[in-house]
Amino acid sequence: DQQVKQNSPSLSVQEGRISILNCDYTNSMFDYFLWYKKYPAEGPTFLISISSIKDKNEDGRFTVFLNKSAKHLSLHIVPSQPGDSAVYFCAASRLLQGAQKLVFGQGTRLTINP
């Protein structure tokens, strides 16, 4: 049962344009959502998060939008830069046994073309 889904395995965007990465979830108990970026041979790097009580969170070039009714979140990167080329994972969590356990999507490989 895939509780967090990223339906696009890859995305190619021109440098300077907007990159939009999408993520859907099925478990309405999730209360916290995160995006991670991963380069080859490195661990995931935390990018940005959003609580279920908000619908938008912004940090520099990165904005995450949450649509709870649709169980959908998206990450907007603008403007896109070549260094943004990486695999992006969305993750969701709920407070269980005192721990914020993360459930990850399958990832989307973003390529920024010069």
Partner 1 sequence: SAVISQKPSRDICQRGTSLTIQCQVDSQVTMMFWYRQQPGQSLTLIATANQGSEATYESGFVIDKFPISRPNLTFSTLTVSNMSPEDSSIYLCSVGHAGGEQYFGPGTRLTVT
Residue 30 touches partner 1, criterion: CB under 8 A: no
How many angstroms separate the CA atoms of 56 and 58, rounded?
Answer: 7
- Closest approach, Cβ 93 to partner 1, in A, equals 7
Site string for partner 1, 55-94 (x = CB under 8 A): ----------------------------------x-x-x-
99, 88 in Cβ contact below 8 A? Answer: no
CA torsion sign for 91, 113, 63, 40 is: positive
Local structure of 49: helix, strand or coil: strand
Residue 11 touches partner 1, criterion: CB under 8 A: no
Residue 100 touches partner 1, criterion: CB under 8 A: yes
Cis peptide before 79 (omega within 30 of 0): yes
- Judged by CB under 8 A, the number of residues near partner 1 is 24
50, 66 in Cβ contact below 8 A? Answer: yes
Which of 64, 80, 105, 108 forms a contact with partner 1 (CB under 8 A)? 105
- Closest approach, Cβ 15 to partner 1, in A, equals 27
The neighbour count for residue 48, using CB atoms within 10 Å, is 17
Give the residues lining the site for partner 1 (CB under 8 A).
32, 34, 36, 41-46, 49, 51, 89, 91, 93, 97, 99-107
